[in-house]
Amino acid sequence: MRITFLGTSSGLPTRQRNVSGIAVQFPQRSEWWLLDCGEGTQHQLLRLDELRPSQLRRIFITHMHGDHIYGLPGLLASLGLGSTPERIDIYGPPGLEDYLKAVLRYSETRIPYPFQIHTVETGLILQEPEYSVFCAPLDHRVPAFGYRVVEQDRPGSFDVEKARADGIPFGPLYGQLKAGQSITWQGRSFHGRDYVGDPIPGRKFSYCTDTTFCRNAIDLSRAADLVIHEATYAEADRELARRAKHSTAAMAARVAAEAKAQALMLTHFSPRYTPEAAITLADLLAEAQAIFPPTMLARDRLTYEIPRRIPAPLPLLTGV
């Protein structure tokens, strides 16, 4: 799974950072998904050839603040003017459907492809053969939902060499072993578990914004390969974070650490942390890394390929 950050600023855009938007691409799939859609998200897509607008399939919205939704009507309208997507499913909090329909009505905008808005509740919101998506409420000033995207585990690899060496003939028996069954050939028994490696674990990531430190963010991030968590403020501005129900970088790091995640990407930075300011994003990174070392800072148009955790090789088996 490949994550591309389209906007990493909180509240309002800066010259370097747009407001929230994240693209998610999947291996061997032309479709991609969008998480949040702040104003100017469609403009960011113009600069990224690999994200073809017509292949956008799903949009997940965390909450109804403008920096996460004001780009949605324009994106949907623009998608209707070129080569249109097949259909778009949009997931988000209560109010999203009314907002979108009101804007399209006032602007007399007709969307020429099918789209549907799903109001999310806690739990499983999407189940596909290869991916599932869960959501849970976070702790912000308005209802906000975090998401967890899970790639299903894949069967382990079949050891063809070993099967051949053991004298099992190529053919339907291989399929039975691959499926984990036991077979008999020329009076001998063979067990699938001896020929199939451990399952290849699917990758999973969480997206937690906007929120202050909360248990649901940890639950969504449990054992995730990547936690994408807002870090609007530095710990020194903790009081601002508390009042606005945002997170400090340290809070985001605690979420990733308690969830025993593999990596953390900070995003949704307050525009106050310019390179010239007393506190900079390098300070946010340092305070997070002190708690959770594998922390990174997102930046606009950064692409992060979530690595696959390759299981240990098959143990040497004896006594077949």
240 binds its own copies (CB under 8 A): no
Q: Is 71 in the site for its own copies (CB under 8 A)?
A: yes
Give the range of 105-113, 118-126, 292-300, 301-309 binding its own copies by CB under 8 A: 105-113
67 carries an active-site annotation: yes
Nearer to its own copies, 71 or 146 (CB): 71
Catalytic residue (choose from 36, 49, 67, 283): 67
**Minimum distance between the CB of residue 271 and its own copies, rounded to whole angstroms?**
8
> Among residues 8, 36, 39, 273, which is the contact residue for its own copies, using CB under 8 A?
39
Could you tell me the two tokens for 202? 């699917």
Phi, psi of 291 (to 5 degrees): -100, -40
- The piece of 67-75, 131-139, 191-199, 238-246 that touches its own copies (CB under 8 A) is 67-75
**Quick check: 107 binds its own copies (CB under 8 A)?**
yes
143 vs 201, beta carbon nearer its own copies: 143
Between the alpha carbon of residue 14 and those of residues 167, 271, 276, the distances in Å are 66, 7, 14
Work out how close the CB of 71 gets to its own copies at its nearest, in angstroms, rounded to a whole number.
7
88 binds its own copies (CB under 8 A): no
CB 234 within 8 A of CB 242: no
Residue with tokens 């109010």: 95
Is 21 an interacting residue with respect to its own copies (CB under 8 A)?
Answer: no
Provide, rounded to whole angstroms, the least separation between the CB of residue 313 and its own copies. 47
Q: Which member of 103, 285, 296, 297 binds its own copies (CB under 8 A)?
A: 103
- 290 Cβ contact partners less than 8 Å away, ≥ 6 residues apart: 250, 253
Residue 223 is a binding residue for its own copies (CB under 8 A): no
Residue 46 interacts with its own copies (CB under 8 A)? Answer: yes
User: Residue from 27, 50, 87, 98 that binds its own copies (CB under 8 A)?
Assistant: 98
| Residue 78 makes contact with its own copies by CB under 8 A | yes
Torsion, CA 299, CA 209, CA 38, CA 28, rounded to 10: 70
- The angle formed by the CA atoms of residues 75, 86 and 33, to the nearest 5 degrees, is 55
- The residues, ordered by sequence, that sit 6+ positions from 76 with a Cβ below 8 Å of its Cβ are 88, 100, 104, 109, 111, 115
Q: Which of 2, 26, 55, 64 binds its own copies (CB under 8 A)?
A: 64
Contact flag: residue 111 with its own copies (CB under 8 A): no
- Whichever of 95 and 311 has its CB closer to its own copies, that residue is 95
d(CA 44, CA 28): 23
Q: Which residues bind its own copies (CB under 8 A)?
A: 11-15, 18, 39-40, 42-43, 46-47, 64-67, 69-71, 73-74, 77-78, 81-82, 95, 98-99, 102-103, 106-109, 141-142
Residues labelled as active-site residues? 67
